[in-house]
Amino acid sequence: MKGLYIVTPDWDDTQQLVDITEQALRGGAMLVQYRHKTAGEALRREQAGRLLELCRRYGRPLVINDFVALCNELGADGVHVGGTDASVAQVREALGPAKIVGASCYGSLQLACDAYQAGASYVAFGGFYPSRVKKYPVTTPREIIQQAKEQQPLPAVVIGGMTHDNALVLVESGADMVAAISSVYTAADPEAAARGFARMFSSP
């Protein structure tokens, strides 16, 4: 797992969501997380299904935030869980060994180690910077990336206010993926914005 990891905003307009996601995929996004905290069940199923079709065309995985049953129903590639959702162990048991299970670890090395032991596929740290979308303490130190890699082997995703200007230092510190919402979805040119993040992972 390497590159730009896009997380969808809480948009009810499915066509807009699909269109901007496709632009980001054209720009080099490597993984899509469908996250819509206020959607009803029907809208969530519609949007996740459309995004899954899109990701299949581009050969990129789609993970769904929180909803294990929806992932299994649609045949999506995995689930991302936060600190208040089902446990990594529960999700891994429900999805089986082949699916992606991501875990939010905030600024905690212990959560990352626990996630690894429970069968996570990757760990996500943050917030590193203030976000326009999510509210959280901006207290995650850059050093946590290398410290986590010394303790367990999972890919590290960084999230929280990521921009072209501030994400590169985290990639240089060992981050495997940069997760972005607003910096891609509300950009004037989402494809170019995605390409800018993707370039951070290009070999010199």
104 catalytic? Reply is yes
**pTM for the structure as a whole:** 0.95
132 catalytic? Reply is no
3-199 fold: TIM Barrel (3.20.20)
pLDDT values of the chain reduced to their tens digit, one per residue, 204 residues: 999 999 999 999 999 999 999 999 999 999 999 999 999 999 999 999 999 999 999 999 999 999 999 999 999 999 999 877 789 999 999 999 999 999 999 999 999 999 999 999 999 999 898 877 666 666 789 999 999 999 999 999 999 999 999 999 999 999 999 999 999 999 999 999 999 999 999 865
Q: Where are the domains of the chain?
A: 3-199
Q: Which of 92, 99, 104, 121 is catalytic?
A: 104
**136 vs 160: CA distance, rounded Å:** 9
Q: Which of 26, 45, 50, 134 is catalytic?
A: 134
Tell me the three state secondary structure of residue 146: helix
CB within 8 A of 199, min separation 6: which ones?
A: none
2 catalytic? Reply is no
